[in-house]
Amino acid sequence: MFKRLTLLLTISNGVFTKTRSFRSEHIYSTTHIEYSNYDEVIVVCTDPNPTSSYYEFVNNLVKELSIPLVLSGNVSNLDQAKLMFELGADRIILNRAIWKNPSIIKDIAEIYGKQAVIVSLDFILKEGRICSFDWGKQIPRDSLFPENFTTYIPYIGEILIQDKELDGRVIGANIESISNICSLLPSSMPIHVGSCGLVSWAQYSDLLSIDSIDAVSVTNVHHMSLKATRALRDFSIKNKINLRTP
């Protein structure tokens, strides 16, 4: 199986921002990014709901892209999903909705295909247990998965795993927790690792070497330049990671 390197951009008020625990800290430009060096671009809206400036950012981005686009934006019903696809999304991310209205997973998959549905699990450690983070209440939940989650597995194209606490921190990823989450999911389910505090090429390779992990996102702004991304690809290939060529 070919592994993928993707780009994940966190957007607030219509601009690319560096985040810490998915809260905006610093504004950055995207002019230094060569999108074609990635296999996919993921745009994560860090505002409670998308604004007109978010849609404007997406519209401008679509004009530059020749690779698949993934959009998030608190999608909770079919009309919102339709809007994201009309904006240019090839796939969309579901997060809060899987806890409030999990049937939306099946509803979207039956219209657009399950390959278009990504479920995001933003995890946090709670008293040593891996739990999902509730963005609405701003507290950890008591479990990692919603009730009856296995019922909807057949309608999910990919799981996106993100570490709420380590997003934006330069202390390295919690690979043990990510690996543990992978072990709880069906071996046939493609897993995509998003923001999790990666700081070294070795950690990217460590994650990509896990059989069930299909893709890892570049989220560190210092890793997004063409030079850095090429160095990451070269390092991974030397470490026998079967990377897809963009």
Q: Where are the alpha helices (DSSP H) in the chain?
A: 52-64, 78-87, 97-100, 103-112, 175-184, 201-208, 226-238
pTM for the full model? 0.95
| 91 three-class SS | strand
Give the residues across from 139 on adjacent strands.
134
pLDDT of residue 50: 94
pLDDT of residue 141: 96
pLDDT of residue 29: 86
Q: Element (H or E) spanning 5, and its range?
A: strand 4-12
Closest by CA position to 85, among listed 124, 120, 53, 58: 58
Q: Are 163 and 177 in contact (CB under 8 A)?
A: yes
CA distance 233 to 81: 33
DSSP one-letter string for 166-185: TTT-SS---HHHHHHHHHHS
Query: From first to last of its 246 residues, what are the pLDDT tens digits of the chain?
Result: 799 999 999 999 999 999 999 988 888 888 889 999 999 999 999 999 999 999 999 999 999 999 999 999 999 999 999 999 999 999 999 999 999 999 999 999 999 999 999 999 999 999 999 999 999 999 999 999 999 999 999 999 999 999 999 998 888 999 999 999 999 999 999 999 999 999 999 999 999 999 999 999 999 988 999 999 999 999 999 999 999 887
- Label the pairing between strands 4-12 and 15-20: antiparallel
CA distance 169 to 197: 5
